[in-house]
Amino acid sequence: MADSFTQPFLTHKHEDDTSRHSVDSYEPGSYHVPHPASKGDHHHRQGSEKPKIALHRKLPKRELIVHATSIGIIGILFWLNGAQIYSRDFDLEKDNTQNQQLKGGQLPAKLHELLMLASLSYVVFYHMRKLLLGRNGIPFGLVSAPYMTNSPSMLAKTSFWAGSRRHWPFGALLGLVCILSVVLGPSSAILMIPSLSWFDDASTIPARSSKIYLPGRKEDLWPSVFNASRMSNTTARNCRINPLDVGSFTKYGLACPTMGYMEIYEWLLSRILTDSKNALVFRELFSNTQRQVEIATLPRNHSSTAKKPAEAYMTVATELATRSLGAYYNYMRRQNRGGLEHVAFPRLRTTAHSADSLVYQPVVHVNCQADLYDHGDKSAVKFPSVQSRWVDDGAYEQDPFILEADTGILDGSPVTEPQFSWYKDTREKASSSLLALAIVPVKGSNDTNPEYQSSATVACSIDARWAASDASYQPANSSIVSSNVSDALLHHLVDNEDRTYSPSLQAQYGLSEKPIDLQLDWAAILNGNQSEHGGNGTATKKSAFAIFLGLNSSNNVKASQDPSTTMLDQLGAIEKAVSVLLGVVIANGISRPASWIQMPMILDNSTTTHDGLVPLLFPTQPEETEFFGPTLDNVPLYVVSLKLDRYGYGYSFRNTASRLAMVVLSLYAGVVCTHVVYILASITTKRYAGGSCWHNVGDLVALAVNSPPTDKLYGTSAGIAESGTWRHMVRVHPSGDEHLELSFVRDGPERAGSEIQVNKRYY
């Protein structure tokens, strides 16, 4: 007989008078029919099945092996990615083979996925079996859910949600397992298959040779004040040579701030002739490396309420950093130091261990505002404030710098040739590094004259600062030395359209607190004055700036303009052209070395020159060491650390996909480890509900078919539509001495009944 505290499970079948087939029939009210097993022992022997143990307390060794193996693989994957283990270099010649090997990594990832799914099935079926064998039972809607946990459709079933409302802990476990079963496979593949990226290589370069030594202190290498007195007499004399005279200036003007003017001239000419935004690149002669000037411009604000000048930001890696990285790579390859020649795609980069080992590069901000000149106009010229995003204007509360009309700056206007001059705001709280004034020819028009020669005054304020830079060089891919400042800072600056002060910029990029002090005697060198001989035998001085500005002119009535800006906004075009030119020239000048002695060196055990210091530029010419030896005895050394990265396949958590995969696998490991601790504690306390029954749908159907009928399922032969039916609790309990049956648990305080015995066999 069934337990008196439970309801029979299935309807009773009987023979209809008109058919030989059995049909389901419900009698009014509750009823109970004895199980056939109670009629005689011969019923036990009609089938081929032997009695089985439904509940035992043995240690589940197979289950623990599955759990341990799957979690062990996860531990290996976490170690590979956490330690950033490098696999192999990227090889263009073997690209197809490497792709096939990577695709083959899907197979072990799939096997790991199946192992984890088997592990989760152990967890789910253990708790389902424990609930089925318990006194309170399990919601009817959750009986079949464990067989569907690897299908997301389970989450859309009414039975799942109705049953979960009755027993939310088991429902939550099923929902979590269902989600994990979908994402475990991809997560394992993400961490198991190596990614193509840059990886740190700490073994190729000897630690002794991983530092570059620069003669001088920080303030010598990246000075806060630029003036002509920093130059030697020889350098100052050489800097007077025409910077556009390629033959003479290239030989004698290497340490001049005007070195690179020929590249600027060609760049401007190319922009005008092709109307293209081509890049400006400077080449370092001795290391064959290049550095690109990054340029960002902000348009002029024409609103009537707030007229703002045109803005331009420029930055470029210093020649010293470019030369150091290029010369270091060439030296290590040429002298066969370490294993650098075996790295297919290397990347050298500077890294700072402290504030005393940083590398810097200039960031220049130029604000220019243009005004038209009218005949007879002798008004004063007002220079705009700098208004950089890294400058708090409140710290520089003062009147703008003004040139009064009696200075004669507008004498001779309108002009037909550009004029240029430097100015310095010497007030205590000056917010600018330097001021510049350009008077350029423009087109004028009025009612009586549609086109006549006029002039525009372009007043510019310049704010130049040092920014901490992580310079990098990829010799196998490009000769250009890049940096985080060049790649990120300018984009950060122009993203904010309202151009407001951002206090985080100064700390984020290590910007100097005060602007670099650019003195007028140093700025005068930037003019690049040269003699120009006229037809009557006279000679006049003409600055390189006048030549640069003169490139932007039309044929009849001369007018300066920027090729990438339409003439609908003539003043805006002039402002943009002058601000970009000024920023490029200033950034180039600051980035040049102030002395030829600033040559990079490294420690090398192969020589005893000055305690092993070897110049990187001339290592094969012993006579050159005489140039360094006497000077280094009294010169401090600035140390820059280098790191080597190699491009290839490896493991890491640096990308978002890997970090998400780590979270998924950690969640799985947490579920399984909690379950293992729980069952070990249950075995210790003799409450473990072990067994292998009902692990598939067929087992559960066999149990249901062998159970007596119940009127609670009346009307469900074609399906269940009411969520209340799914919320009923069901359990497995003994019927008689050797049989088990599935039945509904009666609601109310009295739910107890006979329980399944441990290690007992049931039919």
Provide the phi-psi class of 698: left if phi over 0, else alpha when psi is between -120 and 50, else beta: alpha
**Domain for residue 202, yes or no?**
no
Tens digits of residue pLDDT in 457-508: 889 999 999 999 889 999 988 899 998 888 777 777 666 555 566 667 777 7
Tens digits of residue pLDDT in 143-164: 888 788 878 888 888 888 888 8
Q: Are residues 25 and 158 in the same domain?
A: no
Tens digits of residue pLDDT in 289-312: 999 999 988 766 544 455 678 888
The percentage of residues in the chain with a pLDDT greater than 90, rounded to a whole number, is 24
Those residues whose C-beta lies under 8 Å from the C-beta of residue 472, and which sit 6 or more positions away, are 325, 347, 348, 349, 350, 481, 482, 483
Position 80 scores a pLDDT of 95
Q: Rounded to 10 degrees, what is the CA torsion of 162, 166, 169, 175?
A: 0
Q: Are residues 221 and 283 in the same domain?
A: yes
Under 8 Å between Cβ of 528 and 235: no
Q: How far is CA 655 from CA 104, 445, 649, 658, 659, in A?
A: 22, 59, 14, 6, 7
Q: Are residues 162 and 270 in the same domain?
A: no
Position 75 scores a pLDDT of 96
Chain position carrying tokens 């600018």: 432
Query: Can you spell out the DSSP letters for 689-701?
Result: -B--TT-SHHHHH
> What's the rounded mean pLDDT across residues 647-665?
93
Query: Which of helix, strand or coil describes residue 596?
Result: coil
Q: Are residues 382 and 252 in the same domain?
A: yes
Position 112 scores a pLDDT of 96
**Whole-number Å distance between alpha carbons of 588 and 193:** 45
In this structure, what token pair is assigned to residue 695? 């692990």
- pLDDT band of residue 95 (cuts 50, 70, 90) is confident
Give all strands (DSSP E) within 133-251, no chain letters.
Answer: 138-139, 195-201, 211-215, 225-226
Where does a domain end: 613, 643, 673?
643
Those residues whose C-beta lies under 8 Å from the C-beta of residue 634, and which sit 6 or more positions away, are none
Provide the phi-psi class of 623: left if phi over 0, else alpha when psi is between -120 and 50, else beta: alpha
**Domain for residue 554, yes or no?**
yes
What is the pTM for the complete model shown?
0.74
**Domain for residue 648, yes or no?**
no
Position 334 scores a pLDDT of 84
**Domain for residue 67, yes or no?**
yes
Closest CA to 360 of 433, 465, 259, 281: 465
Q: Are residues 176 and 223 in the same domain?
A: no
Q: Where are the alpha helices (DSSP H) in 14-133?
A: 61-82, 95-104, 106-133
Cα torsion 329, 331, 334, 339: sign: negative
DSSP code of residue 667: H
Buried-exposed string 314-327: b where 16+ CB fall within 10 A, e elsewhere: bbbbbbbbbbbbbb
Position 207 scores a pLDDT of 81
Q: Are residues 624 and 606 in the same domain?
A: yes
- pLDDT band of residue 753 (cuts 50, 70, 90) is low
More confident residue, 637 or 447: 637
Query: Which of helix, strand or coil describes residue 709?
Result: strand
**Domain for residue 590, yes or no?**
yes
- pLDDT band of residue 657 (cuts 50, 70, 90) is very high
Q: Are residues 426 and 516 in the same domain?
A: yes
**Whole-number Å distance between alpha carbons of 586 and 295:** 13
Q: Are residues 188 and 234 in the same domain?
A: no
Q: Where are the alpha helices (DSSP H) in 527-569?
A: 544-550
**Whole-number Å distance between alpha carbons of 575 and 561:** 9
**Domain for residue 677, yes or no?**
yes
> In which domain, by residue range, is 559 found?
207-643
Domain count of the chain? 3
Under 8 Å between Cβ of 741 and 133: no
Those residues whose C-beta lies under 8 Å from the C-beta of residue 227, and which sit 6 or more positions away, are 519, 521, 522
Instruction: Find which of 218-232, 493-507, 555-569, 688-702 is predicted with most confidence, using mean pLDDT.
Output: 218-232
More confident residue, 685 or 736: 685
Is the confidence at residue 340, as pLDDT, over 70? yes
**Domain for residue 200, yes or no?**
no
Task: Tell how far CA 435 is from the center of its chain.
Answer: 38
- pLDDT band of residue 133 (cuts 50, 70, 90) is confident
Where does a domain end: 584, 618, 643?
643
Q: Are residues 632 and 577 in the same domain?
A: yes
Those residues whose C-beta lies under 8 Å from the C-beta of residue 395, and which sit 6 or more positions away, are 429, 431
Position 110 scores a pLDDT of 94
In a 10 Å sphere around its CB, with 0-12 CB exposed, 13-18 middle and 19+ buried, how is residue 521 labelled? middle
Position 381 scores a pLDDT of 84
Is the confidence at residue 104, as pLDDT, over 80? yes
In this structure, what token pair is assigned to residue 185? 């496979």
Instruction: Find which of 313-322, 519-528, 662-671, 753-762 is predicted with most confidence, using mean pLDDT.
Output: 662-671
Average per-residue pLDDT for the chain: 78
Q: Are residues 175 and 41 in the same domain?
A: no
**Domain for residue 533, yes or no?**
yes
Q: Are residues 619 and 680 in the same domain?
A: no
Tens digits of residue pLDDT in 178-203: 999 999 999 999 999 999 989 998 88
225-226 and 517-518 strand pairing: parallel
Position 45 scores a pLDDT of 53
Q: How far is CA 220 from CA 531, 543, 597, 638, in A?
A: 33, 29, 11, 10
Position 434 scores a pLDDT of 93
Q: What angle do CA 227, 232, 233 make, to 5 degrees?
A: 105
- pLDDT band of residue 702 (cuts 50, 70, 90) is confident
Q: Are residues 43 and 72 in the same domain?
A: no
Tens digits of residue pLDDT in 593-634: 755 556 888 887 655 455 678 888 765 444 443 334 434 566
Is the confidence at residue 13, as pLDDT, over 60? no
